[in-house]
Amino acid sequence: MSNLYEKIMELCKSQGVSGARLCADVGLSRGILTELKSGRTKTLSVPTMQKIAQYFGVPLEYLLSDESEEITPVGQIQDELFEKRKLLFDLSGKAKEEDLDKFIKMLNVMLGEDE
């Protein structure tokens, strides 16, 4: 049984989706999951894995990696990023102009965009 198959089945289980439903929704033949399970096929094409990742809302890298790891849905990552940006915006309203200039300069250095 391939690691990819295990990841796909875990995603199906966590989101209450059957393998048959996944195949129908993504446009895969049901036989592909059987081939993954048996080990006759070890991987899928990148475009197919992109469809599966998008379907479940997970990063493609999760499916491509050999390691089993806890996944964070893309939506949750976006929500967390939004909250961090909101916090920065809220704090910037309390900062002095010279502090903001220093902070912007520091960000530019960190991002490699310094002049």
Same domain, 7 and 40: yes
Residue 12 lies in a domain: yes
Same domain, 8 and 55: yes
Q: Of 102, 103, 22, 20, whose CA–CA distance to 55 is shortest?
A: 22
Asked whether residue 81 is assigned to any structural domain, the reply reads yes
Which domain covers residue 32, as residue numbers?
3-64
Distance of CA 56 to the CA centre of its chain: 9
State whether 59 and 14 are in the same domain: yes
In tens, the pLDDT along 24-45 reads 999 998 888 999 888 888 888 8
Flag whether 24 is in a domain: yes
* Structural domain count of the chain: 2
| φ and ψ of 41, to 5 deg | -120, 130
Residue 20, amino acid: A
Query: Given pLDDT bands bounded at 50, 70 and 90, which one contains residue 19?
Result: very high
Would you say 7 and 35 are in contact if contact means Cβ atoms under 8 Å apart? no
Q: What is the pLDDT of residues 67-103, one digit of tens each?
A: 655 566 666 667 777 788 888 888 888 888 888 888 8
Residue 69 domain-assigned?
no
